[in-house]
Amino acid sequence: MADENNSKIEKLEDLLNGVTKPQNDGERIELVAIVGAGVMGQGIAQSISSAGIDVVIMEKNDDHIEAAKKSLEQSMEKEISRWAMTKSEMKSILSRIKWTLEFSDFKNADLIIEAVDENFQLKRLLFKKFDEISKPETILISNTSTLSLTKIAEVTERKDKVIGMHFLNPVPKVPLVELIRGLETSDKTVEVIKSFASTLGKTAIEVYEYPGYVTTRAIVPLLNEAMYILLEGVASAKDIDTAMKMGYNFPVGPLEMADSMGLDEVLTWMEQLWNTLGEPRYRPCPILRKLVRERKLGKKTGEGFFKYTPDGKIKE
């Protein structure tokens, strides 16, 4: 009898979780396509599906898809263990996410989001492909944190419908997104994406198209300086993070934060800002380059500035 009642409750929750679709001034967003099923792509997909919107997410091969599926499920199972999510919610979220290797599955998407590495030429190639395969009204979105939206949009025939949405990791938990307008992004596109962000439970801030925008430009020098403090032997990694957590009320220290972001990603941001702006505060610390060369990339590889357990906790 208890199992029967639990089953009925789960079915009711499924219906409630899937009943709402967002609307924006007559614009209905029913399907969002994402390229890139890394940590950011998974988080974006989870956030969108949680809002009751169908998602199709693309990776380059079956192995990457299987790894991404496993990673996403493990992440949500951790939330269940913390009582932050129910099994029914997880089931409902996963049911709205389709995995694909084919661009043809994007043809009916209302929004297409690119969430690949910070590689300018790769992003331009993807946006050219998006422009060719999608509906004329489809909005094209980049999750870039340092690159020019205007230059990326140049390869499309819909420059007015290209915009940046810079999500922060972990996407489902961080209630902020930066909206980056290219030179030809229309007011209508901005309004639709603002409404979309609100549907996802995000506060959207508009930023000028400038390398690093607000969040990346502000955090990179802090991370870099913490690394130089470690390099110069002023304090241990643990004590540097403890100082920032207890002294300035940071939820996590800068070195653990860098490990969570992925040290290869952090290095890419620093190199983009250093090459673009030429300011010393963005010049990557040698210890960061060393760790990336050794493929000690942080939590995703189990070691960076700290060593980690399989569930992402620092080993004592």
- What pLDDT sits at residue 22? 38
196-199 contacts, C-beta under 8 A, 24 or more apart: 196/22, 196/24, 196/29, 196/111, 197/165, 199/22, 199/29, 199/51, 199/53
- What pLDDT sits at residue 94? 97
For the chain of 316 residues, list the mean pLDDT of each consecutive stretch of 10. 49 45 58 95 97 97 95 92 93 97 96 94 96 97 91 96 94 95 95 97 93 92 98 98 97 96 94 93 97 96 95 86
User: Which residues of the chain form CATH 3.40.50.720?
Assistant: 8-207
Instruction: Tally Cβ neighbours within 10 Å of residue 304.
Output: 27
Angle, helices 2-18 vs 87-95, to 10°: value is: 40
- What pLDDT sits at residue 19? 39
CATH level 3 topology of 216-293? N-(1-d-carboxylethyl)-l-norvaline Dehydrogenase; domain 2 (1.10.1040)
Instruction: Tally Cβ neighbours within 10 Å of residue 197.
Output: 20
- What pLDDT sits at residue 210? 86
Q: What angle do CA 23, 24, 27 make, to 5 degrees?
A: 80
Farthest CA pair distance, the chain: 68
User: Which residues of the chain form CATH 1.10.1040.50?
Assistant: 216-293
Helix segments in 82-186, DSSP class H = 87-95, 120-133, 149-153
From the CA atom positions of the chain, what is the Rg in Å? 20
* CA 178 remoteness from chain centre: 11
Q: What angle do CA 215, 127, 131 make, to 5 degrees?
A: 135
Query: Could you tell me which of 315, 237, 221 has the C-alpha nearest to residue 274?
Result: 221
Q: Does domain 8-207 have CATH number 3.90.650.10?
A: no
Enter the pTM of the model: 0.84
What phi and psi, each to the nearest 5 degrees, are found at residue 148? -80, 120
- What pLDDT sits at residue 10? 52
For residue 32, the surrounding DSSP H or E stretch is: strand 31-35
